[in-house]
Structure 1
């Protein structure tokens, strides 16, 4: 394959015909390798993660010979792994299974703890998070600095691209960096696997309900939710969060999904029963991870992306069995006549959200 050079996105706009774009959209690009909904990724290379698409194309030696550059319009673990793999194809091929796990954990927060490489994947993801927090702005934090993400993220790429290879080969070299978050996640995973936690699954609507004492990091909380797209977390003291996972924002390849539905009616229903001063709120379906929760002052995108144990979650007057029943009923009614499939367009998702419920006679 051709030797590529990383080009910041702002510059790549002027060299699109010579650029491979990862986890982003760039009109006129030589090749798009992205799992974004509607992205023009060639069918043979489509994958659940953008890094997975890159690895598929690498293994098939399908990078256009005209390509000179690789770019992405934001920095996250999945996109970075894809960009790095195109710049280091030999090393990427050697570590393909591990890189796939890292990308999946970074984007979907899902990890199969039984996988022989799970521990290493967690170490690498924790290394990314720790270095990003120590040296740069947090995910979705560029606007607070009055900067554009597609411009500011170039600094992250320039730092991580030369540093990642040695950590990938020997994560123990960076133990002091990744160990604090790694231990926090492992302890939380132990709670998830203990008698203190009850997990209930509703496969007919793609919902997992987790009852556990305290809010947990996503890498632990979402571990048992692989294959599902919605999570209701119920914590001690009648504290709740419902979330659409990122798996319904992108084009998932491995399985069918249901379209996201607007949560307005559910918000109204819960507010009618809520007797505290707080109100239930939810983001629109186009948000990367809409949250349904009792509102405080309002969460920023940075706070909503952060782990549940890093933000306030407020006590409700509604009992947990009632919240679970209402949410399950809401989706059972609305998904009853919607068939799961792949590659929903945003237009189809919006149309599904406007469907009227069948009348009951």
Structure 2
């Protein structure tokens, strides 16, 4: 599908600039183009938090949308005058970045809220003390619900025998002209966003109740959440802000460990430790496991590697979905023992490794070796 979606826009600093417009990713080289939350040869300007992306140093941010918002406040950035904007996939962070470039004045007016939306969309983290936290959740829930209802779930394009960079253009075409209205007044979209919104708030109440305990191991960047039942990510990961690994311990000796997305990208706000392969940890757990099931894990270059007691293999879409939407199996290992094994593994593996910013994949693999 080839089209140009042209939207009225002007820079708050340079109102005479021609309006920006969205183009599908395949059209990147047909005109000077700003690439958001992606990388591509021939980009006039890259605004992405992907590891190793060519985002100008002054514009680096935890989210790609954050880099866009920084760029809008630095209007003389080389390449920012390009009129075309693209991304090679659709997600909350990338969409917010693209939309902000097409609607700069309104984006800067709502900058704090858009930063919350992008962070929640990518890292599943939200500061519930922030006065705009609930509005950010409403907007993300609206985006999620409309995406699934009208198109397909995240990482669902391959199952439909489609390329994400092609299929996602249809999502941008639908969302770009509509998001501004819902940003300024989420109430007309209540019927769309409220089901997931209510589910998350109920989970947040459980997270903050006596039924849940949260332990943090800052020296290894681990948060351990012990709670009765699996929770949606938007609740679960809010307890892990400032750390990069989460071990979830549920009743019935059901467990999951996950590396957060914050160690897949170049995080700007704080140093991080590099990801480590989980083979050795999985082997140790399998040696302790008395059930027929085996501990399996994803590779470190996956966006959110899971370590879990495996049943049928999960698709990428299932792994990305909330923990309460996939099967979890009972282990023979007591929760206290599992936590000790996980903490012991990372304390030993990270001994002598200093956290820092901007790890390359080559450096990460070297630490692993």
One of 46, 55, 65 as aligned partner of 1:51: 65
CA contact (8 A) 1:77 1:106 kept: yes
CA contact (8 A) 1:13 1:26 kept: no
TM-score of the superposed pair, with normalisation by structure 2: 0.94
Aligned twin of 1:135: 150
CA contact (8 A) 2:45 2:80 kept: no
TM-score of the superposed pair, with normalisation by structure 1: 0.96
Determine whether 1:149 maps to 2:164. Answer: yes
SS at match of 1:162: coil
Report how far residue 65 of structure 1 moved.
5.9
- State how far apart, in whole Å, the 2-side matches of 1:219 and 1:62 are: 36
CA contact (8 A) 1:259 1:344 kept: yes
Determine whether 1:125 maps to 2:140. Answer: yes
Report how far residue 59 of structure 1 moved.
1.4
Aligned twin of 1:246: 261
Report how far residue 66 of structure 1 moved.
4.6
Determine whether 1:9 maps to 2:25. Answer: yes
CA contact (8 A) 2:59 2:71 kept: yes
- State how far apart, in whole Å, the 2-side matches of 1:226 and 1:65 are: 32
Aligned twin of 1:175: 190
Report how far residue 224 of structure 1 moved.
1.4
Aligned twin of 1:280: 295
SS at match of 1:179: helix
Q: How many residues of Structure 1 are paired with residues of Structure 2 in the alignment?
A: 352
Aligned twin of 2:74: 60
Report how far residue 173 of structure 1 moved.
1.2
- State how far apart, in whole Å, the 1-side matches of 2:167 and 2:361 are: 28
Aligned twin of 1:344: 359
One of 44, 47, 66 as aligned partner of 1:30: 44
- State how far apart, in whole Å, the 2-side matches of 1:271 and 1:62 are: 56
Aligned twin of 2:312: 297
Equivalent positions of 1:73-92 (< 5 A) are 73-92=88-107
Equivalent positions of 1:203-242 (< 5 A) are 203-242=218-257
SS at match of 1:222: helix
Q: Structure 1: any 5+ residue segments left out of the alignment? A: 355-361
Report how far residue 12 of structure 1 moved.
1.6
Report how far residue 336 of structure 1 moved.
1.1
Mark the CA change 1:174 to 1:321 in structure 2 (over 3 Å): closer, same or farther: same
- State how far apart, in whole Å, the 1-side matches of 2:280 and 2:215 are: 24
Determine whether 1:40 maps to 2:57. Answer: no
Report how far residue 140 of structure 1 moved.
0.5
Aligned twin of 1:263: 278
- State how far apart, in whole Å, the 1-side matches of 2:138 and 2:22 are: 25
Runs of 4+ in 1 over 4 A off after TM superposition: none
Aligned twin of 2:7: none
CA contact (8 A) 2:276 2:364 kept: yes
Q: Structure 2: any 5+ residue segments left out of the alignment? A: 1-10, 12-16
Aligned twin of 1:105: 120
- State how far apart, in whole Å, the 1-side matches of 2:109 and 2:81 are: 25
**Aligned-CA RMSD value:** 0.8
